[in-house]
Amino acid sequence: MPQMDGVLAEIFKRYGVLAILAAIVMGATIWAVAHLSAAPGTQISLLWGLASYTKSPSGASQAAPPRSDVAPTSPPSVPATTPLALRPVEVFQKVAQSAGQAQLEDLRKREALRELSEFEGGKRIAETPPGTYFFTLAVFIDRDEKESYSQLERSPVYRFPPSPFGTLELHRNKAGQMSAVVFTTDGDAARIAAMSAGSDCMVSGARTDQFQTLVYLPLERIGTARARRSELTNRNTIVLIDLRLR
């Protein structure tokens, strides 16, 4: 291209290095405009055909990954749990102490409970099978409102009452729920029968002249329980349990 060479030589002769720099800037501008305006895959020619190339596809115009047609799945719904209903507290008719054992036997039969076998005694309450009755020390029933029955569950069981006035008979029904067999006074029996929330009462695990009314007490109805020893005579003590029902 002799004519182009002559033009460039004349420009350099008249304007010097500035002319070369201006030419470079102009060339870069022309290239940028040509490159940006060209569609991907188009051949771009520069400097009157001295250089040419094909514009490659941009990252944005490349083929997108195949889209899944599977609808997104929502997390499995968790069924709402319904809290178990509190079982009722039963207050039985007051009977004479001589008839008390027969009343207790009838209750065990009604609940279809059996005595622990000779190989089941001495275990922890948590290990006792459903459908049984057994005995433990009454002091283990202590609990606060926010406490669970972890202490009671860890206490040992006995096949027979270990103490005449400090024992508590417990029943574990076929569903695994536990109830305590306790005795109370006439006044507390009426209060328990009314079953108002937050009622305070006093019970014992032993039947005595003062505590003759049998109460069948589901453990979930106990809000707080505090066991204490009280002297019957100078040689015998009885374990009394102060309860707040819920």
Q: What angle do CA 219, 242, 151 make, to 5 degrees?
A: 50
Residues 142 and 199 in one domain: yes
Q: For residue 244, what is the DSSP state?
A: E
Check residue 66 and give its pLDDT: 59
Distance between CA atoms of residues 11 and 86, nearest Å: 104
Strand 200-204, strand 213-218: pairing: unpaired
Residues 232 and 143 in one domain: yes
Residues 110 and 176 in one domain: yes
Residues 118 and 240 in one domain: yes
Split into its structural domains, the chain has a count of 2
Residues 96 and 206 in one domain: yes
In a domain, 66, yes or no: no
Residue count of the chain: 246
In a domain, 214, yes or no: yes
Residues 145 and 35 in one domain: no
Q: What is the pLDDT of residues 32-65, one digit of tens each?
A: 666 666 666 676 666 555 566 666 665 444 555 5
pLDDT greater than 60 at residue 178? yes
In a domain, 220, yes or no: yes
In a domain, 189, yes or no: yes
Residues 94 and 210 in one domain: yes
Check residue 93 and give its pLDDT: 84
In a domain, 72, yes or no: no
pLDDT greater than 80 at residue 212? yes
Residues 105 and 160 in one domain: yes
- Domain membership of residue 156 as a residue range: 90-245
Check residue 233 and give its pLDDT: 76
Residues 16 and 97 in one domain: no
Q: What is the mean pLDDT of residues 68-73?
A: 58
Looking at 27, 54, 81, which one is the last position of a domain? 54
Residues 98 and 220 in one domain: yes
In a domain, 154, yes or no: yes
Residues 98 and 182 in one domain: yes
pLDDT greater than 90 at residue 19? no
Pair of tokens at residue 172:
């574990």
Residues 150 and 199 in one domain: yes
In a domain, 75, yes or no: no
Check residue 97 and give its pLDDT: 78
Distance between CA atoms of residues 59 and 90, nearest Å: 79
Torsion of CA 194, 196, 200, 206, to 10 degrees: 40
In a domain, 180, yes or no: yes
Mean pLDDT of the chain: 80
DSSP 168-188: EEEEE-TTS-EEEEEEE-HHH
Helix, strand or coil, per DSSP, at residue 7: helix
Q: What is the pLDDT of residues 79-89, one digit of tens each?
A: 554 455 788 99
pTM of the model: 0.63
